[in-house]
Structure 1
Amino acid sequence: MAYSYEPHHFEEFEKGQTFHSPGRTITETDVVMHAATTGDWNELHTNREHARERDFGERIVHGPMTFVQAIGMVMRIGILERTAYAFLGMNYMDLPNPVRIGDTVSVEIEVAETKDLESRDDVGLVVFDTEMTTQDDTVVFQGDLKFFVLRTGEASVEP
């Protein structure tokens, strides 16, 4: 599977296109850095003894961290490098299963919609149906990520 994608402008996206990210193993350091950055030291994520007594039997990754990792992996694919103008939000987000420290995650995105904007001629709307899975194909994130993407000629994608 190829992982090296070139940046895409709005006109280069077509409904149904799919892109895949490389995998990334979630580490103890990732969890500690997320807790320190956000101030969320919930013991389900940071206290092994407490978490051992809970439903999952071990510490799990913060739900918001799972979302943030998904966004990062979408950006790592490379198709939005220097062409993403704005992340606009989502209509839905599901976290159906936890990510555990040591899981290797990756994302697959599919272009769900492209839309010309009457109010702007420099960007278009691209919606990506996004799914993050673990090494054993367990789905841990699903959502529709909405971006304004620059049109051809509106940004240089040269390094």
Structure 2
Amino acid sequence: MERPRHFEDYRIGETRRSSGRTITEADFVIHAGHTGDFFPHHMDAEAMKASPFGQRIAHGTMTFAIGIGLTAGEINPLAFTYGYERLRFPKPLFIGDTIHTVLTIAALEDDPKRPDHGRIVETVRVIKQNDEVVLACDHIYLARRRSL
């Protein structure tokens, strides 16, 4: 769904929440195949039984891709992603966990390279069913200004 918003339309503290999605065995296998990351922490169920986690843990890159992908339901044709910063995985994500993503606007800034755009800093939290945060980062994106 398109929702054209200029930089001036955003407000600090504004929050949105994605729908949920359950992580599956197929997610692990497909992500490993796409990336070539067959690290035992993700793919060796027997070895991970003896680990402190007790089971396989999700790839961080998969957690990021799915968690951010869940937010793609809101598309603003006047904005684009500049990048992500301070990416962390504070808790593990397992097969069978259900996640959703919460985004909160934390800052609105001038963009020194593009005076016709403003910089929006949005905190991103991917949260699983027991309210543990499995991914935290800042999403920086640029939105066109209504006027200079």
The residue number in structure 2 matching 1:112 is: 106
Mapped to 2, the partners of 1:129 and 1:75 lie a distance apart of 15
Q: Which residue is 1:72 aligned to?
A: 69
| Aligned positions of 1:17-96 closer than 5 A | 17-76=14-73, 78=74, 80-90=75-85, 92-96=86-90
Q: CA deviation at 1:118?
A: 4.8
Displaced runs of 4 or more, over 4 A: none
For structure 1, which runs of at least 5 residues remain unmatched after alignment?
Answer: 154-159
Distance change >3 Å, CA 27–CA 8, structure 1 → 2: farther
| Structure 1 vs Structure 2 CA RMSD | 2.1
Residue 121 of structure 1, CA deviation = 4.0
1:157 aligns to what?
A: none
Query: Contact between 1:85 and 1:123, CA under 8 Å: does it hold in 2?
Result: no
Partner amino acid, structure 1, of 2:65: V
**Kindly, what percent of the aligned residue pairs are identical?**
35
Contact 1:88–1:148 (8 Å) recurs in 2 = no
Per the alignment, do residues 136 and 7 of structure 1 end up closer, same or farther by CA in structure 2, a change over 3 Å counting? farther
Instruction: Supply the distance in 1 between the matched residues of 2:70 and 2:4 (Cα, whole angstroms).
Output: 14
Q: Is the 8 A contact 2:12 2:105 kept in 1?
A: yes
Q: What amino acid maps onto 1:9 in structure 2?
A: H
8 A contact 2:68–2:101 mirrored in 1? no
User: In 2, distance between residues paired with 1:137 and 1:7?
Assistant: 32
TM-score under structure 2 normalisation?
Answer: 0.87
Most deviating of 5-14 and 103-112: 5-14
The range that moved more, 21-30 or 64-73, is 64-73
Scaled by the length of structure 1, the TM-score of the pair is 0.81
Partner amino acid, structure 1, of 2:77: R
Deviation at 1:51, TM superposition (A): 1.4
